[in-house]
Amino acid sequence: MENFYLGVSIFLCLLVLLCLYRVVYGPTIIDRIVGVGAIGTKTLVVLVLMGFIYGRIEMFLDIIMVYAILNFIGTLAAAKYFEGRGEI
């Protein structure tokens, strides 16, 4: 089962590269903000899988919750900032 989790984690890391392309070359600010949010979400899933691989999900749970809150607040702050500048 650990090999399956490791394979899924590697696949998600490859998907992060696709999202990173959207962040760097996105035609609009909205595409870039959504790309950063998607990278954060995929990172959360990779952290959950790492917790299962190491058998210490309770240790990773605190890290995951803090990272999810920071990802959410960062995405909202960026959207609010660019909305205030009139770019969205």
pLDDT averaged per 10 residues in sequence order, the chain, 88 residues? 89 92 90 91 92 88 92 91 81
- Residue 60's nearest CA partner among 71, 46, 42, 75 is 46
Structural domain boundaries, residue 34:
2-84
Q: 0.75 cut: is pTM over it?
A: yes
State the total domains in the chain: 1
CA distance 79 to 71: 12
Task: Say how far apart CA 50 and CA 76 lie, in whole Å.
Answer: 27
